[in-house]
């Protein structure tokens, strides 16, 4: 895939938890040129992108005017809002602007209507759309990639175990039921019944697609853990007996059995939950096949002093989420028009990021 020989003109859309981690790299990477910045909050509008990124001035001023940014005709918009505005993204694509997003989209299998609209708009405008998901997308991709070592594959399992006490977004946790009453120990649902997090279901399709299997059906089982004492995290309080841990088990079935499984274990305490789930923090990949393949991916702060401004594993996850999308920009701009999957692009790597 021949990549652009000139720097690609990029607009960064939003500077929240993920977007503000993408912004410094878009400013610094030689293959990219920041030409515009969208900000939702009034305190950021009118400020220089460099100041928002914690660096020198760039001359790019943050705005909340979408029309101004579209008029710049960038090569790509790095689109990182809390929720995808599909009507707006369709406008980008019809204008011939490529889009990479960390929103709730990986394959479009759970967004059939939206995927059709995106694909039509992208082909009409000669642009490409990629969703990398709001989790570090390369972990999902790594699981599928590792199956390439196998002669036969029976199942693929990805397990994410995270201490979530350092992710102080109380409203997001409340929306997922944290802090609420523990009325049921386990709840089963399907993609049609789910209200959010559909990209987790689409992870199953992404991995299955990499081994040439089309899933028959998908389900999610949510297991709940209660706080065994009052928990004061500073940014949130969880009373004894309320939900302070969740284990979400996403399963994709092929020929009547579970082929791909994604387990997300999120907890607000490492010693005061019932049940108290155990597991190595980070990501574990298990491929039952010939050969059996096991891999562990763990995030930690750099050992080099002063190498990072991040303070904990959860903030490093935001970096990884952002960079999975940013590093894909040159490949998306070189791809054929339409909706493209991460598994359809060449391995991206951290090009020109050596310091």
Of the candidates 82, 158, 91, the one whose C-alpha atom is nearest the C-alpha of residue 124 is: 91
Average pLDDT of the residues in 237-249: 96
Report residue 353 as tokens.
Answer: 């990021």
Q: pTM value?
A: 0.94
Cis check for the bond before 275: say yes or no (omega within 30 of 0). yes
Q: What is the pLDDT of residues 212-231, one digit of tens each?
A: 999 999 999 999 999 999 99
Is pLDDT above 70 for 136?
A: no
**Do residues 99 and 117 make contact, with C-beta atoms less than 8 angstroms apart?**
no
pLDDT band at 269 (very low <50, low <70, confident <90, very high): very high
Q: What is the pLDDT of residues 19-42, one digit of tens each?
A: 999 999 999 999 999 999 999 999
- pLDDT score, position 186: 85
- pLDDT score, position 235: 94
Q: What is the pLDDT of residues 246-263, one digit of tens each?
A: 999 999 999 999 999 999
6: Cβ–Cβ under 8 A, 6 or more apart, which residues?
A: none
The bridge status of strand 76-79 relative to strand 231-232 is unpaired
Q: Is the dihedral of CA 303, 307, 313, 319 positive or negative?
A: negative
Which single residue is written with the structure tokens 């559909």?
198
**Do residues 207 and 285 make contact, with C-beta atoms less than 8 angstroms apart?**
no
**pLDDT mean across residues, the chain:** 95
- pLDDT score, position 310: 93
Is pLDDT above 80 for 271?
A: yes
Of the candidates 187, 162, 157, 141, the one whose C-alpha atom is nearest the C-alpha of residue 251 is: 157
pLDDT band at 280 (very low <50, low <70, confident <90, very high): confident
Is pLDDT above 90 for 148?
A: yes
pLDDT band at 155 (very low <50, low <70, confident <90, very high): very high
Q: How many angstroms separate the CA atoms of 138 and 225, rounded?
A: 29
Average pLDDT of the residues in 121-139: 91
Based on the number of CB atoms within 10 Å of its own CB, is 238 exposed (0-12), middle (13-18) or buried (19 or more)?
Answer: buried
Which single residue is written with the structure tokens 């809390």?
82
Q: Would you tell me how many other CB atoms lie within 10 Å of the CB of residue 202?
A: 27
Q: Percent of the chain, pLDDT > 90?
A: 87
**Do residues 337 and 125 make contact, with C-beta atoms less than 8 angstroms apart?**
yes
Q: Would you tell me how many other CB atoms lie within 10 Å of the CB of residue 332?
A: 23
Phi–psi pair at 187, nearest 5 degrees: -135, 135
**Do residues 182 and 241 make contact, with C-beta atoms less than 8 angstroms apart?**
yes
Average pLDDT of the residues in 145-163: 96
- pLDDT score, position 2: 85
Q: Mind spelling out the 3-state secondary structure of the chain? A: CCCCCCCEEEEEECCCCCHHHHHHHHHHCCCEEEEEEECCCCCCCCCEHHHHHCCCCCCCEEECCHHHHHHCCCCEEEECCCCCCHHHHHHHHHCCCEEEECCCCCCCCCCHHHHHHHHHHHHHHCCEEEECCCCCHHHHHHHHHHHHHCCEEEEEEEEEEEEHHHCCCHHHHHHCCCCCECCCCEEEECCCCCCCCHHHHHHHHHHHHHCCCCCCEEEEEEEEEEECCCEECCCCEECCCEEEEEEEEEEEEECCEEEEEEEEEEECCCCCEECCCCCCCEEEEEEEEECCEEEEECCCCCCCCCCCCCCCHHHHHHHHHHHHHHCCHHHHHHCCCEEECHHHCCCCCCCCCCC
The bridge status of strand 128-131 relative to strand 293-297 is unpaired
- pLDDT score, position 16: 92
Evaluate whether the domain defined by 8-132+328-344 bears CATH number 1.10.3720.10. no
Residue range(s) of every CATH 3.40.50.720 domain in the chain: 8-132+328-344
Is pLDDT above 70 for 199?
A: yes
Q: What is the pLDDT of residues 283-319, one digit of tens each?
A: 999 999 999 999 999 999 999 999 999 999 999 999 9
Q: Would you tell me how many other CB atoms lie within 10 Å of the CB of residue 10?
A: 28
Q: What is the CA radius of gyration of the chain?
A: 21
Q: What is the pLDDT of residues 63-109, one digit of tens each?
A: 999 999 999 999 999 999 989 999 999 999 999 999 999 999 999 99
Is pLDDT above 80 for 132?
A: yes
């Amino acid at each position: 895939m021949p990549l652009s020989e000139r720097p690609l003109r990029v607009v960064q859309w939003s500077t929240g938890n993920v977007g503000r981690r993408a912004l410094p790299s878009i400013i610094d990477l030689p293959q990219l040129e920041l030409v515009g910045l969208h900000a939702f909050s009034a305190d950021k509008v009118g400020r220089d992108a460099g100041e928002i990124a914690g660096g020198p001035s760039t001359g790019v001023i943050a705005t909340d005017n979408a029309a101004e940014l579209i008029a710049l005709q960038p090569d790509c918009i790095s689109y990182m809002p809390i929720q995808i505005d599909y009507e707006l993204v369709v406008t980008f694509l019809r204008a011939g602007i490529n889009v990479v997003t960390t929103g709730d989209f990986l394959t479009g299998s759970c967004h059939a209507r939206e995927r059709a609209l995106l694909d039509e708009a992208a082909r009409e405008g000669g642009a490409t759309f990629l969703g990398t998901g709001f989790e570090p997308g390369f972990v999902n991709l790594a699981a599928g990639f590792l199956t390439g070592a196998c002669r036969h594959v029976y199942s693929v399992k990805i397990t994410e175990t995270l201490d979530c006490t350092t992710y102080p977004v109380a409203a997001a946790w409340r929306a997922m039921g944290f802090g609420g009453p523990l009325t049921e120990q386990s709840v089963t649902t399907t993609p049609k019944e789910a209200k959010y997090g559909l990209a987790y279901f689409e992870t199953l399709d992404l991995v299955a697609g990499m081994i040439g299997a089309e899933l028959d059906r998908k389900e999610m089982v949510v297991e709940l853990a209660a706080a065994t004492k009052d928990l004061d995290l500073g940014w949130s309080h969880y009373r004894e007996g309320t939900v302070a841990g969740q284990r979400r088990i996403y399963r994709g079935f092929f020929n009547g059995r579970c082929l791909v499984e994604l387990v997300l274990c999120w907890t607000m305490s490492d010693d005061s939950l019932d049940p108290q789930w155990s597991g190595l923090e980070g990501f574990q990949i298990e491929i039952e096949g010939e050969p059996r393949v096991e891999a562990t991916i763990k995030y930690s702060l750099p050992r080099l002093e002063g190498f990072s401004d991040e303070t904990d594993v959860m903030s490093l996850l935001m970096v990884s989420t952002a960079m999975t999308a940013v590093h894909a920009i040159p490949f998306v701009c070189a791809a054929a028009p339409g909706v493209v999957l991460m598994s359809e692009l060449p391995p991206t790597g951290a090009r020109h990021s050596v310091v």
